[in-house]
A and B are shown apart, each in its own frame.
Chain A
Amino acid sequence: MTGEVCGAQGDNGLHKRALLRGWSQAGWRRYIWVLLVCSFLGSGPAWGAAIRLGAINPLTGNLALHGIEIHQGIVAAVEEANARGGLQGHPVELLSRDDQSRPDVALNQTQDLLYREKVVGLLGGYVDSLVGPISTMAARHGTPYVAAASLQQSLTEQGNPFFFRVSCMSGVVKPLGRFILERLKPAKVAILYTATPGSTEFATRLKEMLAEQGIAIPLFEKFRPGTPDFSVLLLKAREQGDDLLISGGFFPDNLLLARQLREQRTPLKAFIAPWGVAYEKFIRELRQGSEGLMGLCAWNPGITYPGTETASQAFVKRFQERFGQAPNTTTMHGYTAARALLAAIEQVLGKKEPLSGPAISRELRSLDLLLPMGRLRFDEKGDPLDYRQVIVQIQQGKLQVVYPPERATGELWYPLNAASPQ
């Protein structure tokens, strides 16, 4: 019995060797060809297969207003890409997730998109407390993430090769600081900011910049987004005789702050908020009360980067047809982030390389696009090289650029209560 088994094994072994000998001639060559073809086919998505991108934004919760705007910008860019035939023949599928304005939910949604949906890239994000968790998880998974609205310096300084963003802190603080120093020249400035990473860093850096030039900052206070009352802080500003109030709050915070500012007749010379003021909705809500208030933006339907006027108008038209409303600066951040990722993926596909995280990141790093928000190039850390916001003032219900001078569309009204040209 044993011998029979051994014999059988021996026969099998001989048979296998004979097979292998036979393969060593024509069969092996065929086998290698098949392997090569398979590896080539396996290097990218199958022909016509959809490219899956993930977008995580605060679609509900206290940041929903801006989260939805970013989401719409991303959708506009993806639909634009699909309308022109996709990326190298591949349609783009966008998987959108709501982080509910909560970091723990943002993490959970990121996990789902990366591990279950297996997206090749991530987009979106509003405020660094939500962008930070997404970027950390995307880095661990090796998937590129292009953030639409992120400022915190340390996010790019930690050497995350898969993280990119279309905005940066210096693009906000530098123009605002120069504007204050060159045009407003206040003696005392009050700075209020929210307990979010980006707003905290913005306030800290601006304070340092102004203090270096000898400007006093008697009021420097933090509040939580959604604070229901600013009257005590405004009273402090009044008592201290502050000339200027800078708010690092978001749309609802600034709306309330501006209302209480008017109600209390706080004798400020100017009110500036980088987020939440340069919006049509803000003007609609406050009407006459918004006159003379100042904000910052990187783009708006009437404020576009020089040389991109036609593209900008075309975008506004398409967007209005699709969503029934005008886009704004936040929308444009979402659109720009999506355009960057789509362009990088297209370049990888054009080179017939696998759609891997490192390949897409490499192409993102070498991008040079001219978009309505400006020229888009990333530095080695993933920060945009050319991002600069402009200072706008609400004048007769319209947003007028008042700084820098080369992009100004109107004259500065200063001080605030004069509500007329300087």
Chain B
Amino acid sequence: MFPDTLRQFLPVAAVVILLVGPVLFSGGDLYFLVFGFACFYAALAMAWNILALSGLVSLGHGAFFGLGAYAAVLLEHNCQVPIYAAVVAGGLMGSFYGVLWGYAFQKLRGAYFALASLASLEIPRVIIDNWDSLTGGSMGIIGINRLPALDFGAWIIPVGESMRGQYYFLVAWMAAVGVVHYQAIRSRWGWALRAMRENEMAAGVLGVNVFGYRFLAMGISAFLTGVCGGLYAHLMGLVEPAMVFSVQLAAFPLILSFFGGRYAVLGPMLGALVLYPFDQLVLQPWLPQGHAAIYGLVIIVTIFFFPKGIAAWLSQPARTS
């Protein structure tokens, strides 16, 4: 669809725009905020997609997200664990629940897996909602500390203190998740996931350890989603069950991945970096009350007109006349 030179140039241009773009806009903090969260949702979408690459569509990733958020906050609040260590521990909490899924849902596929994942979102939510003495129950936890500055000697990123610092931190986080996502598509492990997705039985016959690879994908996906939850709680400054165990939040990475392209390396990232800023900077000012309807519309349009997502435009070879 695009000429080859343009296709090669676009990713480089995107990286350059992402790194320096918000600095150039006069809106300052608004652009840092919107593009920073676009990067955050891109990381979340890629984390979700790692499991989806194995052929399982999850509707319950909000469980890993919420568990990660609560684990990070409680460890920091109650045990004085350093914030970044607590966030990583949040990821481990998410992956622990992912491991449970891996065992419990190992025989489920398709709609049954999706339904089971959606149902299992409720379990940690109800526990946290009712365990008042530990989690604050429905009252949630407020006054959560901001993410501390990252000190690299001469270079200090004030992550929690400035929108610019927060933005660059989230760009780095997206890049880190992007590397894992790349591996999940292009590595030997990625090929195994692809084989399982296309024909699980055939992959097994060819020697692919179906349970092991899917288990690994589940663990990594849940870990990264849990870390995202921990970061989200510290970025927002509060955590409530309704906020982090939300079905909407669980469905968001699915929308971004479908829109961007589930099977493309840059698909979920592209989906987030295009759709979220478009919604926040273009649609919201124009239609403040109903702008979020775009996400529902996007899913329908994507399914009908470009089922491989917008990333497919970049990967298709140019037509020669």
Contact = CB atoms under 8 A, between A and B. Distances in A.
Contact of A132 (B129, B130, B142, B248): B142
Contact of A197 (B30, B138, B284, B292): B138
Contacts of B284: 112, 116
A108 B139 CA distance: 20
B179 interface: no
Contacts of B242: 102-103, 129, 195
Nearest to A111: B33
Given A102-B246, A115-B30, A116-B30, A195 B288 contact: no
Contact of A59 (B130, B240, B289): B289
* Best-buried of A105, A194, A200 by chain B (most CB within 10 Å): A200
Contacts of A97: 288-289
A107 interface: yes
B138 A133 contact: no
A154 B288 contact: no
Contact of A104 (B137, B139, B246): B246
Contacts of B292: 100, 105
A113 to B, nearest CB: 9
Nearest to B280: A112
B285 A129 contact: no
A129 B142 contact: no
Contacts of A139: 237
Contact of B238 (A59, A109, A136): A136
B172 interface: no
Contacts of B236: 107, 133, 136-137
A195 B138 contact: yes
B241 to A, nearest CB: 7
A305 B248 CA distance: 43
B240 A222 contact: no
A201 interface: yes
B15 interface: no
B142 A200 contact: no
B289 A132 contact: no
Nearest to A195: B138
Interface string B121-145: 0000000011010000111101100
Contacts of A103: 240, 242-243, 246
A158 B142 contact: yes
B30 A195 contact: no
Interface in A139-168: 139-140, 152, 154-155, 158
A133 B238 contact: yes
Contacts, number: 86
B207 interface: no
Contact of B237 (A95, A98, A137, A222): A137
Q: Is the interface of A mostly helix, strand, loop or mixed?
A: helix
A303 B280 CA distance: 44
A95 B289 CA distance: 11
A108 B236 CA distance: 11
Interface residues on A, range: 35 or more
Interface residues of B, number: 31
A336 interface: no
A222 B138 contact: yes
A141 to B, nearest CB: 9
A129 B27 contact: no
Contacts of A395: none
A158 B140 CA distance: 13
B30 A129 contact: no
Nearest to A109: B288
B249 interface: yes
A196 interface: yes
Most buried by A among B238, B248, B285: B238
Contacts of B143: 136, 154, 158
Contact of B140 (A109, A116, A132): A132
Interface core residue of A95, A105, A116, A196 (most chain B CB under 10 Å): A116
B29 interface: yes
B129 A195 contact: yes
Contacts of A196: 138
A59 B288 CA distance: 12
Nearest to A197: B139
A272 B19 CA distance: 58
A268 to B, nearest CB: 25
A74 to B, nearest CB: 16
Contact of A200 (B139, B238, B281, B289): B139
B225 to A, nearest CB: 16
Interface in A192-223: 194-197, 199-201, 222
B240 A197 contact: yes
B243 A116 contact: no
A201 B142 CA distance: 14
A137 B140 CA distance: 16
A107 B232 CA distance: 12
Nearest to B143: A158
Contacts of B237: 136-137, 139-140
Interface string B239-259: 011110010110000000000
B280 A197 contact: no
Interface string A167-208: 000000000000000000000000000111101110000000
Contacts of A59: 289
A194 B292 CA distance: 27
Interface of A: 59, 95, 97-98, 100, 102-105, 107-109, 111-112, 115-116, 128-129, 132-133, 136-137, 139-140, 152, 154-155, 158, 194-197, 199-201, 222
28 contacts: A95-B288, A97-B288, A103-B246, A104-B243, A104-B249, A111-B33, A112-B280, A112-B284, A115-B27, A116-B285, A129-B138, A129-B240, A129-B242, A129-B243, A132-B238, A132-B240, A133-B236, A133-B238, A136-B237, A136-B238, A139-B237, A154-B143, A194-B138, A195-B137, A196-B138, A197-B240, A199-B138, A200-B137
Given A115-B30, A116-B284, 8 more contacts: A102-B248, A115-B27, A132-B240, A133-B236, A133-B240, A158-B143, A195-B137, A200-B137
- 8 closest A-B pairs (Cβ-Cβ)? A158-B143, A115-B30, A197-B139, A136-B237, A103-B243, A195-B138, A200-B138, A98-B289
